[in-house]
Amino acid sequence: MASIEEKSASGAEFLGTVLEYLEAEIEISARDDDDRIIYELTGDTALFKGKPDLVSALTLLTAQAASRKVEERVNCLLDIDGQFEARRALLETAANDAAHAIQKNGRRAVFTGLNASERRVVHSTLKEREDIATRSEGDERNRLLLVETAASDD
């Protein structure tokens, strides 16, 4: 089993090669976040602005390249100029607000347009609540995240 350092180095190497090819002066730093590696990209990141599909594709390619190199699955996320951390805070607030509203009115909340990493934030934020359940439905392009009251075991 590869160490987290080996996994993060293999992904950083791939990213560095791609960014060098694109002639983008971007600094890459990596950190461990539970069971995935977050690559923080700072510097000349203008090429990523307003292009979430590009970030998603590069994230997927980075994970595949790192996985192939260390011969095991590597999960990763690209955080461009700290945008994901800001988005995480917003999603955590929205998840908690939705749970509070569900507790009051008994209806469910539906989150749309979230990528896998964003859905994971909502699931993780609410996983400790026994009164609330989360689940995802649909295919990847049209995946919904549902937040609803948990079924009681009575």
- Tell me the average pLDDT of the chain: 90
Task: Check: CB of residue 67 under 8 Å from CB of residue 73.
Answer: yes
**If you average pLDDT over residues 125-144, what whole number do you get?**
90
Give the global pTM: 0.74
**Do 119 and 136 touch, CB atoms closer than 8 A?**
yes
144: its two tokens: 């919904």
**Among all chains, which residue has been given the structure tokens 């609410």?**
126
Per-residue pLDDT reduced to its tens digit, 59-88: 999 999 999 999 999 999 999 999 888 999
Inter-residue contact 18 to 3 (CB < 8 Å): no
Task: Tell me what pLDDT residue 129 has.
Answer: 92
39 to 15, 57, 81: CA distances (angstroms): 9, 14, 10
Task: Classify residue 18: in a domain, yes or no.
Answer: yes
Does 119 have pLDDT greater than 80? yes
Q: Are 63 and 100 within one domain?
A: no
Judgement on whether residues 59 and 18 belong to the same structural domain of the protein: yes
Is 65 within 8 Å of 39 (Cβ atoms)? no
Clarify whether residues 9 and 72 are in a common domain.
Answer: yes
Same domain, 132 and 72: no
What residue numbers bound the domain in which 60 lies? 4-81
DSSP-assigned letters across all residues of 84-103:
HHHHHHHHHHHHHHHHHHHH
**Is 16 a member of any domain?**
yes
Banded model confidence at residue 29, pLDDT cuts 50, 70, 90: very high
- Final residue before a domain boundary, out of 81, 100, 115: 81
